[in-house]
Amino acid sequence: MSIEIRTAAGIVRGRWENTVAVFRGIPYARPPFGALRFAAPAPVLPWDGVRDALEFGPPVPQAGSVSGGDCLTVNIWSPEPGAAGLPVLVWIHGGRYLEGISGNPHFDGATLAASGAVLVSMNYRTGAEGFAHIAGAPDNRGILDQAAALRWVRDNIAAFGGDPGNVTVFGQSAGAGCLAALLAMPMAAGLFRRAIVQSLPGTYFSPRLAATISAAIAARLGVRATVAELARIPPGPLIAATDAILDRMPEFVDSWGPMALTPTPFSPVVDGEVLPRAPWHALTEGAAHDVDLLIGHTRDEYRLFVGEPTDEQITAALERLTPATGDYRAAYPEATPRQLYELVNADWLFRMPTLHLARAAGGRARLYELCWAFHREQGASHSLDVLLVFGTLGADEVRAHPSALPNAAAEITGVAHRMRTDWLTFAATGDPGWAPYDPETRITRVYDTEPTTGPYPEERSRRLWDAHRFDTLALV
């Protein structure tokens, strides 16, 4: 059965899917092509009649998809369109700042919405289109897209059953990096009341570092990293040039610094204007002081990416990524070289930036860690929390997996329900049910077969990084 809702730009037609009304592919900004390529998002143009919102919008340009069209779109799942005034959850997907689509079936919002919230997801520009530093273009275009989507939510979500005064933004990995940037951006103030930061990457670039990386990508195409010259390059070749530089990044570690050891050439740019400070400093100085925060990571953040590191890679990681006063071999004497490689990468890229963001919030952030796992090799891996919160990994899939742990299929429904309930409670009230993090008690919610609450579990890593201060990454 179809359902029609009037937005500020025109009427959209969605449909009921079981007990949830779903609207897909609603444009929140004009397509970022032609004269609008590399520009800040432009307001969507109104339309006459009724616009079908039945299919996800096309992906933004990325590997495997360079089509145009209305790619800056939002999707909405609502159990009660109209004047219900439900909490709103807005999802920002990850993907290394390089890729990702809101139409990924793992981000289906039906389960969250059926639990009593309005769920919104979005496409935003990724890769060089959204994050490269380009002379003549604003930095952080992908994050500017997200801010535009949040303004669309503010102006339109009431008609879909949401409360525009009770918006919680949640994002994971690169989506968490964007969300932490939004917390620090004055232009995003007032667009959301709460934030859930899942697996924050610790990489924010200075303009000089970002410009050097973009120059290397543009040089592969025989041009300079300017709007005038890159506008002549179609998205496909620009993506290929980015991939070529990505493959060679470790060669640049002496000048680009530790970011050259990560799986992406892009991160938010601390330009001093739109993004004035890296988020740890911004929160310490009082940014987003009126935003409730839920912050956390998984235990085995880097295990998916480890593979079989060479001796050279292990040495480089321990030398380049360890804090100045830290010694991983002394802190983890039982760890194999491969485990040390995994630990230092997990801590430098995800676990410690996340912990330090909670610390920077000054007693107003709740902290969590996911320790439950279903996969024998992957453990509590990067992105597993997403599948649990969205409810898109089920017991049958776990049971059929050849590497599933013996009791995982029986456990997953309960673990997922507890996490999802805590996310929804936080979105509704700002209090998920445990005390805020502070440096003395370090209270942390640990999700395992049965949840527990106590001191932060990764004590050895916490001590290694205690004196370190995460900040903007610059050229060496």
Return the axis-axis angle of helices 311-320 and 337-346, rounded to nearest 10°: 40
CA angle 342, 346, 348 (to 5 degrees): 120
For residues 183 and 179, give the distance between their C-alpha atoms in angstroms, rounded to a whole number: 6
Q: Let me know if 29 is exposed, middle or buried by CB neighbors in 10 A (0-12, 13-18, 19+).
A: buried
Phi, psi values for residue 323, rounded to 5° = -65, 160
CB 124 within 8 A of CB 92: yes
Written as one letter, the residue type at 363 is: G
Q: Count of CB atoms within 10 A of residue 39's CB?
A: 16
For residues 198 and 268, give the distance between their C-alpha atoms in angstroms, rounded to a whole number: 16
E strand spans, 186-307 = 194-198, 292-298
Catalytic site residue from 102, 121, 173, 199: 173
Q: How far is CA 236 from the centre of its chain?
A: 24
For residues 185 and 276, give the distance between their C-alpha atoms in angstroms, rounded to a whole number: 7
Beta bridge mates, 195: 169, 293
Catalytic site residue from 99, 129, 301, 342: 301
CB 383 within 8 A of CB 94: yes
Known active-site residue 173: yes
Phi, psi values for residue 120, rounded to 5° = -120, 135
- Residue 88 contacts by C-beta under 8 Å, 6 or more apart in sequence? 117, 118, 120, 153, 157, 162, 163, 164, 166, 167, 168, 427
Q: Which residue has the tokens 């004196």?
A: 467
Nearest alpha-carbon partner for 79 in 120, 109, 117: 117
For residues 330 and 183, give the distance between their C-alpha atoms in angstroms, rounded to a whole number: 36
Q: List residues with catalytic annotation.
A: 173, 301, 382
